[in-house]
Structure 1
């Protein structure tokens, strides 16, 4: 069974809002675009692995996706954790393109793309560290750790994987995501001792889900040009800003597209960049709405929680606002 689903990362949502609203004449926009591209690629790789894991029998396992667990003064992250009664399995997904050269002697992964070499941390070592941190977490919660295995999934089907030293661990630990259904069964042959009851499996899953702390970056720490971010409602068709609200619909002055709900994305952008609270005045200013009655009607039509009254009233996103 799937004990914890993989959700669209808040970090990516924030970066998307920043890139949409970043002033065009600021050279730093390219930095945020590059970071957003990397994060999206990573998420796509994780979803690719999820697709292939969906094709295996879940009846004897619990799968937890996208864990971020506090440890000491920091956190450790696990892309995918499979919990069985015999062993635990950590899978880290990489969606790198190009030629991937594993050099375990130096704990390095070299990526060659367009004749440019880049050095990345050894993902096998990363999963070993995650296994050690997970073991410490289980001991802290009075659970005797079963064997913890680790794998690295390469999700980009066009990537070329090389193991120039013919290292046995690289051959054993690294696989293509499409091979997931054939990579997991051998662990059942290796670990045949029944170590965890079904209640133990549920307890481990429950403790990890309870401890999970999702990463929510603080835009305040990103040195953003808050006073220069682009305001207005963006057209979902041509992506131009400056839609006008007329007779219950937003109309794009550039392409003529009409929609009744374009204000929702604009408000999401505000919450993601400026914080989870907005007043009617801020709403009118950010969306460039002249009528206070129109603003009030739009705010009351969305999944928002209102606090205060009259001029002191503010609005925050409801439980399902970002769904």
Structure 2
């Protein structure tokens, strides 16, 4: 088996995860965040299953590609030597039904039809491949991952994979797959080269440094409840432990994600961590892991 798996968590979700712990989101902002999070969990589940099963194929996920001034997202691709399998992954929960080309959640809340989304993505991917001189057949499906999902009135020939069909579908791909050649790896490399790391359609709430709650978010339970001990930081909520150096580097990563325009200094990270770590410890960790620029009070790190 060969597999390429991109970083699964999009930047927009990372930002919203951090903001949701450090400020109160509006009801609409929180709903959007939870939908994004649930969708990501569905993609994680399917990609994990696709990556673990045997067989010669490449797995790509969470691609954001622009072609002919049109941006489109690919939830998951499985590349075999003879075919490309494209998936629109949905983690919907509850009862849904199709009525013509409209898609509803019961009793009657209309949602974007994932079958129409799939057709658009497949068409754009096909155009992109042709522009690259490639004519590999594409088999496209919507895959529903949540075990508590039910869809009524779906035509028998709909390109849909239900939760209880995922394992057999992946097994079918493995049984048909032949040994990969440089052709498949070349397609994967070209798609990865075109992948964009940031969506032009991000929906982030406005925020200011001053309004965000300071402190250390636990990487395990995502609570703002990490405290410092002798060489380690411990979460008072779930008991997770990690070295102080690891904790500081996590906080630096989050700080730079939220405020890329602010200079990375000992004082900034000291304040960002809620003043629970000593400046001397933070200074030593920053000095060991980043390049120092300037001296004394004007010193910052890159």
- Mapped contact 1:232–1:287 kept (Cα < 8 A): yes
In the alignment, what sits opposite 2:186?
Answer: 203
Q: How has the CA–CA distance of structure 1 residues 240 and 15 changed in structure 2, closer, same or farther, with 3 Å as cutoff?
A: closer
- Counterparts of 1:230 and 1:284, CA distance in 2: 13
Of residues 72, 75, 85, the one that matches 2:71 is: 75
- Mapped contact 2:64–2:196 kept (Cα < 8 A): yes
Q: How has the CA–CA distance of structure 1 residues 285 and 203 changed in structure 2, closer, same or farther, with 3 Å as cutoff?
A: same
- Mapped contact 2:251–2:269 kept (Cα < 8 A): no
* Alignment: residue pair count: 295
- Counterparts of 1:218 and 1:264, CA distance in 2: 29
In the alignment, what sits opposite 2:281?
Answer: 294
RMSD between superposed Cα atoms in Å: 3.8
Q: CA offsets per residue over residues 116-153 of structure 1, 9 Å max, x none?
A: x432211112111111111111122222x232221011
| Per-residue deviation, 1:293 | 2.6
Stretches of structure 2 that go unaligned for 5 or more consecutive residues are none
Q: How has the CA–CA distance of structure 1 residues 176 and 238 changed in structure 2, closer, same or farther, with 3 Å as cutoff?
A: closer
TM-score of the pair, normalised by structure 1: 0.76
- Counterparts of 1:118 and 1:131, CA distance in 2: 26
Q: How has the CA–CA distance of structure 1 residues 208 and 240 changed in structure 2, closer, same or farther, with 3 Å as cutoff?
A: closer
Larger radius of gyration: 1
TM-score of the pair, normalised by structure 2: 0.80
In the alignment, what sits opposite 2:152?
Answer: 162
Q: How has the CA–CA distance of structure 1 residues 269 and 216 changed in structure 2, closer, same or farther, with 3 Å as cutoff?
A: farther
The alignment status of 1:109 with 2:96, answered yes or no, reads no
Of residues 87, 91, 98, the one that matches 2:87 is: 91
| Per-residue deviation, 1:29 | 4.2
